[in-house]
Chains A and B, each alone.
Chain A
Amino acid sequence: MRDINTDKENTWCSGCGNFGILNAFKKSVAMMVEAGISLDDIVMTCGIGCHGKIFDYLNMSGMYGLHGRALASAQGIKLANPDLKVICFGGDGDSLGEGLEHTLFAAKRNMDITLILHNNGTYGLTTGQFSPLSPRGYKGLSTPKGSIETPFRPIPLLLEAGATFIARSYSARLDHLAHTIQRAVNHKGFSIVEVLQPCVTYYNTYSLYNKMVKELEIVPYNRNLALQLATAEEAFYIGVFLEETKPVYHEELYGSHNPAMDRKASAERVI
């Protein structure tokens, strides 16, 4: 496999959970390539935020999209060329704030793509304002007295929306995260990996996560249990919560056709 590093200077804060995600992703790419997927067929999109910088640190194809819109562009890529494995990196502000609609609809459509949700509970790049996943009481520049909103719970939200693979991992558990990403990408349908990602600068959750994170041994055998475990307070469970088979959008739309590869030239088009 060719080198997928770039020479772009890394500007994440030292100790940022994004490093763990970058390293785990590289590892999962190596596993995918080993399993026979062409590196050229792995295409990423990402939104705007600290998470999005991962685009520049990977010498791989993709689109560095608009804030909140990366998952819409990811769907456009998949629809155009279903041979591609499309992976979207989103921040919690990006994918559950500005671009929430695209996240829910990608799940609703069971679009065959993967969302890696960098859950750092804050808007890192714009200096630590509260995010859709920040807890009540979170103090940031826009909520100096503490957030008065209750955060979303991404796993129940996406389960309800129709995602068919839902997992959680932790940026500090490299192997667990790499394997979870690989499983998510291999899943046929909309897959999401919520990654617990400490932001050392604005919301340092390392000691909390190190204490609370617990690995699930198996996929919960029903949705209720999955929800219970995903929202448990005694521990932050990581692992796969849901893995289901449902028809995927592009196959429902056009079967085994490939719009980008099977394009018809003007001469063959009759109007």
Chain B
Amino acid sequence: MDERVFTITVGGRAGEGVKKAAQVIAHIFCAAGWNVCQADDYQSLIRGGHNFSTVSTSQTPVYCAHQNHDLLICFDQRSIDKHLKRLKDGALLFYNSDEAQCEQGIPIPMNSLMKKHYHGASNVSLAALAIFAALAGMTQEQLQEQIVQQYRRDIEENTAYAMEIYGMVSQRCDYGLDWSVNKPFHFVSGIQAIILGASKAGLDFFYGYPMTPASSLLHYAALKQESLNLFAIHAESELAAINMALGSAMAGCRTAVGSSGGGFALMQEGFSAAGMVEAPLLCILSSRPGPATGASTYTAQEDLFFALHQGHGEFGRVVASPDSNNRALSLSAELLALAWELQIPTILLTEKHLSEGMADIGMNHPELPEAKELPGTAGASYQRYAATPNGVSPLVFPGHKCAPDTVVKWTTLEHLENGVRSDSAADIKAMKDKRGIKAKAIQEACKRYQTTAEYGEGELLVFAYGSTVLELREAQKYSQRPFKIIAPIYLEPFPHEKLEQYRGKEVVVVEHSQSGLFAQFLKIKLDVQVKHLINKYDGRAFDPIELAKQIEELQDA
């Protein structure tokens, strides 16, 4: 099979449909049975600036977008200036000659042609699709079909515009696309996969407040409300979101909240409340560079310890981070199920790269767990915080239809088994012990799932987590020096049973944090010797080929 990876990038200003053009191209490759990754690089603005979207695709697996282009389509000068140096040998450049000048590449007067074909709002995004269609050898009918399916509005004007540009492109790229394949695909972002997984596990409510790159949790849940049987509530703040979620959980609904660092910080007290009232709650943290408002639309892994230590006070939790879009789907279901099984808050830690990065998760999903409570017996003797051998108390929900003659008291103050407050020394200790013994149950329950992943073989041991694993897997294809990727998926409780074999070993750590948080974490957990830390903290993902070179060049590792 042809192992080449083709990278196609569309660049322009915000509002020009850069992402849309890339997505349509991505879908065309998906339908032809290819592997596709799409990454969108955009700024925190609505109009202007510089946005670009990259599609890397191959007949063999591809794990993340590359940063050197085989085909570059630029709607403006800034896109050329920024990306020209990243053209591969033999790459093609098309640009909007009404806006930009360039000594190389093929000029297309995209603006003048828009004036000619559109009466109202025009759509330069169609130019990119038309150029690609011509290059890839699509017929006019195939192009027309894409326009109708993907753009829906202004079909006539879009078609006229696209067809004229299509006719101007005489170059051809032999990708080797087989048009007869027509493979069903499910091309989703990490965030979409998270919502899908949680929905399958039983999610009833998502409470949130917009904050990039976590906003699409709210958007996608709202968009799919009917088909996914859930409700998305845009609350007045993150404080509201998590405290509303606690209420819904108490009344029997599976709930999740999510935000990026700032909003997650506001949810800290509510997170602790979940620990105290023993609320089952899935919390999604999608990181961007911080501190504070930081860089809203870029990627980072600087919230590792923040996630591990979320909230004040002592209580159990699970923290895990998906290493692919497929894993985002299954992990989200697992974390909602674990939350309910153990009545604890769980955290799905991810980052902008995976949250917004698109990939085909396929049509056949693995068996996903369901979020179920340990059911209690209704009646006068019910006690919300009844002591049990593993610390998990049976649950019933209030209301005469759910639990007649039953008092269900959830309490953020320290309490007795019946939920009534107490601050006697003996009661404080007893209830802390009750919550404390859950630790063992948490550890055992997590073992049911895949807690770590390893990719490739080699003497060199490279540790990473989250979407950095995708960058490494892609790099692995290009590195002359073989290496083994070791990726903890579950971070808390730490999967010692799987990773003790690496105790004290010399390792390389790759991550997106300035101070090497993950390296520090591994030192604490496994006493590894971090010979090399490859860390990138400029908000951007690694280019896999550059990452491969960095690994090859490591001295004495």
A and B are interacting partners = yes
Is A138 an interface position by the 8 A CB rule? no
| Partner among A55, A78, A102 whose Cβ is within 8 Å of the Cβ of B236 | A102
Is A211 an interface position by the 8 A CB rule? no
B411 touching A64 by the CB < 8 A rule? yes
Could you tell me the distance in whole angstroms from the C-beta of B459 to the nearest C-beta in chain A?
41
Per the bound structure, the CA–CA distance linking A38 and B407 in Å amounts to 12
Is A50 an interface position by the 8 A CB rule? no
**Segment from A67-75, A166-174, A188-196, A223-231 that makes contact with B:** A67-75
A40 touching B421 by the CB < 8 A rule? no
**Segment from B14-22, B198-206, B435-443 that makes contact with A:** B198-206
Scan A233-271; emit 1 where CB is below 8 A from any B CB, else 0.
Answer: 000000000000000000001100001110111100111
Could you tell me the distance in whole angstroms from the C-beta of B95 to the nearest C-beta in chain A?
41
Q: Which residues of B contact A104 (CB under 8 A)?
A: 236
A79 touching B231 by the CB < 8 A rule? yes
Interface residues of A in 53-75 (CB under 8 A from B): 53, 55-56, 59-66, 69, 72-75
A63 touching B233 by the CB < 8 A rule? no
Closest B residue to A108 using CB positions: B236
Could you tell me the distance in whole angstroms from the C-beta of A111 to the nearest C-beta in chain B?
10
Q: Which residues of B contact A80 (CB under 8 A)?
A: 204-205, 247-253, 255
Scan A4-16; emit 1 where CB is below 8 A from any B CB, else 0.
Answer: 0010100000000
Closest A residue to B333 using CB positions: A266
Could you tell me the distance in whole angstroms from the C-beta of A110 to the nearest C-beta in chain B?
14
Interface-central residue, A39, A56, A263, A269, by most chain B CB under 10 Å? A269
B251 touching A81 by the CB < 8 A rule? yes
Per the bound structure, the CA–CA distance linking A56 and B414 in Å amounts to 12
Q: Which residues of A contact B197 (CB under 8 A)?
A: 271
A63 touching B399 by the CB < 8 A rule? no
Q: Which residues of B contact A55 (CB under 8 A)?
A: 409, 411, 421
Interface residues of B in 247-296 (CB under 8 A from A): 247-255, 269-270, 273, 277
A72 touching B247 by the CB < 8 A rule? yes
| Partner among B245, B269, B399, B409 whose Cβ is within 8 Å of the Cβ of A40 | B399
Interface size range of chain B in the complex: 35 or more
B246 touching A8 by the CB < 8 A rule? no
Per the bound structure, the CA–CA distance linking A253 and B232 in Å amounts to 10
Per the bound structure, the CA–CA distance linking A83 and B403 in Å amounts to 13
Interface residues of A in 65-106 (CB under 8 A from B): 65-66, 69, 72-81, 83-84, 101-102, 104-105
B400 touching A61 by the CB < 8 A rule? no
A41 touching B399 by the CB < 8 A rule? yes
**Known pairs A73-B246, A75-B247; A269 contacts B229 (CB<8 A):** yes
B405 touching A40 by the CB < 8 A rule? yes
| Partner among A38, A76, A83, A102 whose Cβ is within 8 Å of the Cβ of B245 | A76
**Known pairs A43-B398, A45-B247, A105-B240; A65 contacts B412 (CB<8 A):** yes
A266 touching B240 by the CB < 8 A rule? no
Closest A residue to B203 using CB positions: A269
A266 touching B368 by the CB < 8 A rule? yes
Q: Which residues of B contact A61 (CB under 8 A)?
A: 398, 406-409
Is B420 an interface position by the 8 A CB rule? yes
A102 touching B240 by the CB < 8 A rule? yes
Interface size range of chain A in the complex: 35 or more
Interface residues of B in 2-25 (CB under 8 A from A): none
Q: Which residues of A contact B244 (CB under 8 A)?
A: 72-73, 75-76, 79
Q: Which residues of B contact A259 (CB under 8 A)?
A: 204-205, 231, 248, 253
Is A2 an interface position by the 8 A CB rule? yes
Q: Which residues of A contact B252 (CB under 8 A)?
A: 80-81, 260, 263
A265 touching B402 by the CB < 8 A rule? no
Per the bound structure, the CA–CA distance linking A72 and B236 in Å amounts to 10
Per the bound structure, the CA–CA distance linking A48 and B269 in Å amounts to 13
Is B239 an interface position by the 8 A CB rule? yes
B202 touching A269 by the CB < 8 A rule? yes
Per the bound structure, the CA–CA distance linking A41 and B399 in Å amounts to 4
Scan B201-219; emit 1 where CB is below 8 A from any A CB, else 0.
Answer: 1101101000000000000
Interface residues of B in 387-411 (CB under 8 A from A): 397-411
Could you tell me the distance in whole angstroms from the C-beta of B259 to the nearest C-beta in chain A?
15
A260 touching B411 by the CB < 8 A rule? no
B421 touching A69 by the CB < 8 A rule? no
Could you tell me the distance in whole angstroms from the C-beta of A183 to the nearest C-beta in chain B?
22
Is B150 an interface position by the 8 A CB rule? no
A66 touching B400 by the CB < 8 A rule? no
Is B370 an interface position by the 8 A CB rule? yes
A261 touching B401 by the CB < 8 A rule? yes
Closest A residue to B204 using CB positions: A259
Interface-central residue, B207, B252, B399, B408, by most chain A CB under 10 Å? B399
Is B43 an interface position by the 8 A CB rule? no
Q: Which residues of A contact B239 (CB under 8 A)?
A: 69, 72, 101-102
B200 touching A40 by the CB < 8 A rule? no
Q: Which residues of A contact B200 (CB under 8 A)?
A: 266, 269, 271
A8 touching B420 by the CB < 8 A rule? yes
Is B62 an interface position by the 8 A CB rule? no
Q: Which residues of A contact B199 (CB under 8 A)?
A: 269, 271
Q: Which residues of B contact A8 (CB under 8 A)?
A: 420-421
B250 touching A73 by the CB < 8 A rule? yes
Q: Which residues of B contact A73 (CB under 8 A)?
A: 243-244, 246-247, 250
**Known pairs A266-B201, A269-B229; A63 contacts B246 (CB<8 A):** yes
A271 touching B411 by the CB < 8 A rule? no
Closest A residue to B198 using CB positions: A271
Q: Which residues of A contact B399 (CB under 8 A)?
A: 40-41, 43, 81, 83-84, 260
A79 touching B250 by the CB < 8 A rule? no
Is B308 an interface position by the 8 A CB rule? no
Per the bound structure, the CA–CA distance linking A19 and B390 in Å amounts to 40
Could you tell me the distance in whole angstroms from the C-beta of A99 to the nearest C-beta in chain B?
8
Is B196 an interface position by the 8 A CB rule? yes
| Partner among A40, A65, A265, A270 whose Cβ is within 8 Å of the Cβ of B202 | A265
| Partner among B236, B253, B370, B420 whose Cβ is within 8 Å of the Cβ of A266 | B370
Is B227 an interface position by the 8 A CB rule? yes
User: In the complex, given contacts A80-B253, A259-B231, what are 16 additional A-B residue pairs having Cβ atoms less than 8 angstroms apart?
Assistant: A2-B380, A6-B420, A40-B406, A56-B420, A61-B408, A61-B409, A63-B247, A64-B415, A64-B421, A66-B273, A73-B250, A76-B245, A76-B246, A101-B240, A266-B370, A271-B365
> Can you list 15 pairs linking A and B with CB atoms under 8 Å apart?
A40-B398, A40-B404, A61-B398, A63-B411, A65-B243, A65-B246, A65-B412, A66-B273, A69-B270, A80-B250, A80-B252, A81-B399, A263-B252, A264-B229, A265-B370
Closest 4 CB pairs of A and B: A76-B247, A72-B243, A80-B251, A76-B244
